[in-house]
Chains A and B, each alone.
Chain A
Amino acid sequence: MEVPILKQGEVLIATFQAALSDADLNDLRMGLVRQVVKFRSRAVIVDVTAMDVMDSFASRTLREIAHMIRLRGAETVIVGIQPEVAFAMVQLGLTLEGVATALDLEEGLAYLNEKFKTTN
């Protein structure tokens, strides 16, 4: 399943679909990092609004994506985690530690703007 990745200036926006298989997640991991390299992006926003469940594999993959992207000097922000999903995640101990999160795309972009302003 193709995950659409849009470019908005220095930011890449990847929108996860509802049902991503483990294979899809693996493809995405490599795919996103390659795109960061190709476009010299400064940040990636991963929008998971459409995901109504988040299992440990998906959660781990997101963390790995964030770490890999950081190695390229870019920031990752996960946005759109649903309240029920957030609740379920913390109960399973999946806290996405070390990864920035925001309510939605708008907030994610605002966060990045702030960050870029202060680092410029």
Chain B
Amino acid sequence: MSKRENIAKDSGTRSNPRVELVRSEAPSELLRELVAHLRQNRTQLREEWVVRITETRLLTAMTKEEIFAEATSVYDSYVEALETEAFEALQAYARNLSERIIPRGVETHEVVGIVLLLRDVLARSLFAKYQTDFKKLNRILDAYEPAANRIANTVAVGFVQERERVIRQQQEAIRELSTPVLQVRERLLILPIIGVIDPQRARQLTEQLLRGIRTNRAKVVVIDITGVAAMDVTVANHLVQTVEASRLLGATVIVTGLSPEIAQTLVTIGVDLGKMNTVGDLQGGIEQAERLLGYKVVTLAESR
């Protein structure tokens, strides 16, 4: 957009007020102008924003001082993003902010809410400033709105990304905690499973088990599912596949601790029970495994 005429239209004092020479500023110039305005009125606008936040009952998990402190840094980042259009920096800031406030119990709708409130407060301030020059107001808004919307979007996305990162991290931690493959005798592995098995966890279990069979040269594996309340058909099939894959590596699998519900599921899907070696509980499973491996357990008294 090139600069055309540069005769400024002043409001009021001109000799020929009807001549409206449109001065089209470049968008960047408009942006600079509005950023300057937002900086000049920083204190007042920020205060107004904090009042709106409290009125709308957002950030109730934070104290007034905390809100003020965060509001200051958010305001400054907001204006800077408008000025520099450096949205990556803003996204990094948003993630950083999320990292701080998510543990405080702040919800996504609150974060999005306050950013939108700030957008409104600043927009109103622009309306007030340019109310006598409707055409200019329009041009200012043309510059402001896309940038402001992009900011709201960026902050929201940054916040959500941070939450998702935390969730993934926790899921990974849970998964690692919950699938240990334990060697209890030479050639004998135990895999105690506790909790909910979803298809992804089931897959991870199988991979870990097969690797464990190879590393420990296991001939028998006892998979104990006492701690699993229920499994759906997909996971039940997966269990059967795990047994079959283990056999391909030369290991026999004994499944123990099937609950009545799981027993029902297995029968319903028509599992070939000839392929599945099952024993009531873990103790029985280990005893059978020992027999298979040629161990005999006697008390010290008996062995004399």
Query: Contact: B250 with A96, CB < 8 Å?
Result: no
A95 CA to B275 CA, complexed, in Å? 11
Query: Contact: A83 with B250, CB < 8 Å?
Result: no
- B214, B217, B241, B250: the one contacting A90 at CB < 8 Å is B241
B247, CB-defined interface residue at 8 Å: yes
Query: Contact: A90 with B245, CB < 8 Å?
Result: yes
Query: Contact: B248 with A89, CB < 8 Å?
Result: yes
A95 CA to B246 CA, complexed, in Å? 10
Given the interface contacts A96-B248, A103-B250, A107-B217, does A83 sit within 8 Å of B241 by beta carbon? Answer: no
Query: Contact: A103 with B213, CB < 8 Å?
Result: yes
User: Size class of A's contact patch?
Assistant: 20 to 34
Query: Contact: A83 with B211, CB < 8 Å?
Result: yes
A87, CB-defined interface residue at 8 Å: yes
B203 nearest in chain A by CB position: A87
* List of A residues within 8 angstroms of B242 by Cβ: 90
Tell me which of A79, A83, A101, A108 has the highest count of chain B C-beta atoms within 10 A of its own C-beta.
A83
Interface SS majority for chain B: helix
A86, CB-defined interface residue at 8 Å: yes
Query: Contact: B210 with A87, CB < 8 Å?
Result: yes
Given the interface contacts A103-B213, A103-B214, A103-B217, does A83 sit within 8 Å of B244 by beta carbon? Answer: no
A107 CA to B250 CA, complexed, in Å? 8
A51, CB-defined interface residue at 8 Å: no
Given the interface contacts A83-B210, A83-B211, A107-B217, does A101 sit within 8 Å of B249 by beta carbon? Answer: yes
Closest Cβ of chain A: how far from B82's Cβ, in Å? 52
Query: Contact: B251 with A87, CB < 8 Å?
Result: no
A91, CB-defined interface residue at 8 Å: yes
Within 8 A of A (CB), among B200-234: 206-207, 210-211, 213-214, 217, 219
A84 CA to B207 CA, complexed, in Å? 8
Query: Contact: B210 with A86, CB < 8 Å?
Result: yes
- A86, A107, A108, A111: the one contacting B248 at CB < 8 Å is A86
Residues of A within 8 A of B (CB): 78-79, 81-84, 86-87, 89-91, 95-96, 101-104, 107-108, 111
7 contacts between A and B (CB under 8 A): A82-B214, A83-B214, A86-B245, A86-B248, A96-B248, A101-B248, A102-B250
The 9 closest A-B pairs by CB, nearest first: A83-B210, A102-B250, A103-B250, A86-B245, A86-B248, A90-B241, A90-B244, A90-B245, A81-B248
